[in-house]
């Protein structure tokens, strides 16, 4: 079983400036929930009880979001707004540890900051930019494979050739059932240098020996300590697996992906879908006739 989950959230969010100048990108809402809450709920749904958020400057709103809110709860209680009260209370009953990453030195460095809390166990890493459609079984499947094999498992997605530059790309041997034994990884290669089109997406089950590698790892691409480089070293020592995800993932760290996620999640929201669908159909008709 995996009990611990790490959420790197110290990035600067430059792709969403100016919105992210003083507010964390992890708090941008998709319909009515901040990005990081989708990832937190995903981890909780598969049994992770200790959640570690790696924060940085301008990230206080994340801690406030998951804190108790006595005044708000009191007002909701007095007004008899039971459903809203439940929704708000649910968030303040989760165990979080917060660690500050003092400088944005990369994903590998962010994960290394969690070492004292991880305590020698395998753990999950969830990047909240990558939103997996709620209800997906990706993370529980990865946990099952990682537990059975006693190994690291990374989520993969087949990406367009033009998109390989946005991802860590793997080279691996097909073991069937969507599982790949990873032979090597390259961080954000040029399409001509990419060993495949299988991109790493932001869900990892890591074994604790990754920390020994991260501790001595030199900065890589972009001058940052890259998790991809550490995984490459690990894969040369012992089996590391990739698990190909065929469900729906939104790249909410990108404006277009964020808009797609907003529209699709709003269409799945029972309270919004009828009205929103009508609006979208009207909009499309107007576009087509103009």
Q: Which residues bind ligand G1P (CB under 6 A)?
A: 107, 127, 129-130, 167-168, 187, 199-202, 227-228
**118 vs 200, beta carbon nearer ligand G1P:** 200
Q: Which residues pair with 51 in a beta bridge?
A: 5, 96
**151 vs 200, beta carbon nearer ligand G1P:** 200
Least distance (Å) from ligand G1P to the CB of residue 130?
A: 5
Assess contact for 14 and 22: CB atoms under 8 A: no
**56 vs 202, beta carbon nearer ligand G1P:** 202
**13 vs 76, beta carbon nearer ligand G1P:** 13
Backbone φ and ψ of 159, nearest 5°: -115, 160
Least distance (Å) from ligand G1P to the CB of residue 103?
A: 16
Assess contact for 28 and 11: CB atoms under 8 A: no
The residue sitting closest to ligand G1P, measured at its beta carbon, is: 168
Least distance (Å) from ligand G1P to the CB of residue 127?
A: 5
Assess contact for 155 and 146: CB atoms under 8 A: no
Give Cα separations from 163 to 38, 91, 199 (angstroms): 24, 35, 9
Q: Which helix H or strand E contains 102, and what residues bound it?
A: none
Q: Which two tokens stand for residue 15?
A: 């792709």
Give the Cα separation of 145 and 189 in Å (integer): 28
**128 vs 266, beta carbon nearer ligand G1P:** 128
Least distance (Å) from ligand G1P to the CB of residue 11?
A: 7
Is the four-CA dihedral 228, 231, 233, 235 of positive or negative sign? Answer: negative
Least distance (Å) from ligand G1P to the CB of residue 232?
A: 11
Least distance (Å) from ligand G1P to the CB of residue 154?
A: 9
**34 vs 253, beta carbon nearer ligand G1P:** 253
**Other beta carbons less than 10 A from residue 37's beta carbon:** 20
**76 vs 253, beta carbon nearer ligand G1P:** 253
Assess contact for 31 and 264: CB atoms under 8 A: no
Least distance (Å) from ligand G1P to the CB of residue 147?
A: 23
Q: Where are the alpha helices (DSSP H) in the chain?
A: 35-45, 60-65, 70-78, 82-91, 107-112, 115-118, 138-149, 210-216, 227-237, 255-268, 273-289
């Amino acid at each position: 079983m995996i009990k611990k989950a790490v959420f790197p959230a110290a990035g600067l969010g430059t792709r969403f400036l100016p919105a992210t100048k003083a507010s964390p990108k992890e708090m941008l809402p998709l319909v009515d929930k901040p990005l990081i809450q989708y990832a937190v709920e995903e981890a909780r749904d598969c049994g992770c009880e200790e959640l570690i958020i790696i924060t940085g400057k301008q990230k206080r709103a994340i801690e406030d979001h998951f804190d108790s809110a006595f005044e708000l709860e009191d007002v909701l209680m007095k007004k008899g707004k039971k459903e809203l009260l439940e929704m708000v209370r649910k968030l303040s009953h989760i165990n979080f540890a917060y660690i500050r990453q003092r400088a944005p030195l990369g994903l590998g460095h962010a994960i290394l900051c969690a070492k004292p809390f991880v305590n020698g166990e395998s753990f999950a890493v969830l990047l909240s930019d990558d939103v997996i459609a709620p209800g997906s079984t990706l993370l529980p499947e990865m946990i099952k494979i990682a537990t059975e094999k006693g190994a690291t498992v990374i989520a993969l997605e087949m990406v367009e050739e033009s998109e390989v530059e946005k991802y860590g790309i793997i080279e691996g041997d097909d073991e069937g059932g969507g599982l790949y034994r990873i032979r090597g990884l390259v961080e954000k290669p040029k399409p001509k240098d990419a060993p495949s089109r299988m991109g790493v997406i932001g869900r990892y089950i890591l074994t604790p020996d990754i920390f020994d590698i991260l501790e001595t790892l030199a900065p890589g691409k972009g001058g940052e300590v890259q998790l991809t480089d550490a995984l490459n070293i690990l894969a040369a020592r012992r089996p590391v697996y990739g698990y190909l995800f065929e469900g729906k993932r939104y790249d909410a760290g990108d404006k277009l992906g964020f808009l797609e996620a907003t529209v699709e999640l709003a269409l799945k929201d029972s309270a919004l879908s009828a009205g929103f669908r009508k609006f979208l159909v009207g909009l499309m008709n107007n576009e087509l006739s103009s």
